[in-house]
Amino acid sequence: MNFGFGQAHAKAHLLGEHSVVYGYPAIIAPLLSLTNKAEIIDSDTTVIETDNFSGSMYQLNYRFSGIYNLLVELLNFFESPDLTFKLHVKSNIPSKKGLGSSAAYAVSIVKAFCDYFDYQYTDEEVFKFAQIAENKNHGKSSGGDTYAVMAEGPIFFDSNKDATILKLNTQAYIIIADSGTAGLTSQAVQLVADNYEKNPTVYGGYLKRMGEIADKGREEIIADDLKDFGQLMNENQLLLSKLGVSTPYLERLIKITLKHGALGAKLTGGGLGGSIVALTDKSETAKEIKSALSKSGASESWISKI
């Protein structure tokens, strides 16, 4: 009996979501404790089982056409269009929270198929396949999430859609909090596109500045300067708010982290809900921020070393 396994993890944008859709760079950190695991085994009939779906390929196409398209492409690539299989996907990444759950789904499935067919893949190949689902899900996906959910360290995702790992030589912690409200990535991407179309000079200026911030952030990481990196996160948040994708509740959670000693904080991912991310260089401060966020109503929070 043939078996294949694939895994991917969550991510948080430290700098540059939205502007990354317009070709500017972004810095994205992996959240290794939140994972998505896919298993594929031979079966007489094809069944796909996930945390919120169980059904055939036909039913999958109806509910999750991005993943359906991805599976069709994978079966064609492996010259097995008639293969029948059981695909089981299990995730502890909250969905619609700006944490890259959809990219992690797609990447773990691609890796499980490669394992099943004993195929040595490159990250670029996984990326190309996973983007079939991501582009369908988000309308227009930058691809940054897809690399970040595969990476073992923070990545600098550049305008050529290449990802390089950034090495930090000092202690750094990020605290991620789920606001409890759903992030609306495709609506947020559309909102930014509409605003940009209405006023390209102003909104184009915001997006360009966000790109400059991500470039500067890369230099600060190379220089191990977390204080300046935190300031860049704060400026990035101001611009996200001007783009129209922040919410009063996200702003409130961000303020709480800064009050408890965060070096910088912002929303992460598409916004209009979802999660925030805060930065500190001290593990005690990280714990204090986490506890303050829980007391303020954040539904879940995590500390991750970067």
Structure tokens at 114: 């490669």
180: alpha, beta or left, given left = phi > 0 and alpha = psi -120 to 50? left
Q: Residue 83 or 184: which CB sits closer to ligand PMV?
A: 184
Q: Residue 55 or 180: which CB sits closer to ligand PMV?
A: 180
Which pairing describes strands 275-280 and 155-157: parallel, antiparallel, or unpaired?
unpaired
Q: Does 30 bind ligand PMV (CB under 6 A)?
A: no
Q: Residue 98 or 217: which CB sits closer to ligand PMV?
A: 98
Q: Which residue out of 115, 145, 158, 178 is catalytically annotated? A: 145
Figure out which of the listed residues 8, 14, 15, 17 binds ligand PMV, where binding follows CB under 6 A: 17
- Judge whether 264 and 233 are in contact, CB under 8 Å: yes
Buried b (16+ CB within 10 A) or exposed e, 53-87: eebebeebbeebebbbbbbebbbebeeeeebebeb
Buried b (16+ CB within 10 A) or exposed e, 134-149: bebbbeebbbbbbbbb
Residue nearest to ligand PMV (CB): 269
Q: In angstroms, what is the minimal distance from the CB of 205 to ligand PMV?
A: 18
* Residue 222 to residue 202: CA distance in whole angstroms: 31
Interacting residues with ligand PMV between 31 and 90 (CB under 6 A):
none
Q: Does 144 bind ligand PMV (CB under 6 A)?
A: yes
Q: In angstroms, what is the minimal distance from the CB of 141 to ligand PMV?
A: 4
Q: Does 270 bind ligand PMV (CB under 6 A)?
A: yes
304: alpha, beta or left, given left = phi > 0 and alpha = psi -120 to 50? beta
Q: In angstroms, what is the minimal distance from the CB of 222 to ligand PMV?
A: 23
Figure out which of the listed residues 4, 8, 15, 18 binds ligand PMV, where binding follows CB under 6 A: 18
Nearest Cα to Cα of residue 305 among 285, 276, 283: 283
Figure out which of the listed residues 25, 98, 217, 264 binds ligand PMV, where binding follows CB under 6 A: 98
Neighbours of 284 (CB within 10 A): 10
**215 among known catalytic residues:** no
- Contact residues: ligand PMV, CB under 6 A: 17-18, 20-21, 98-100, 138, 141-142, 144-145, 183, 185, 189, 269-270
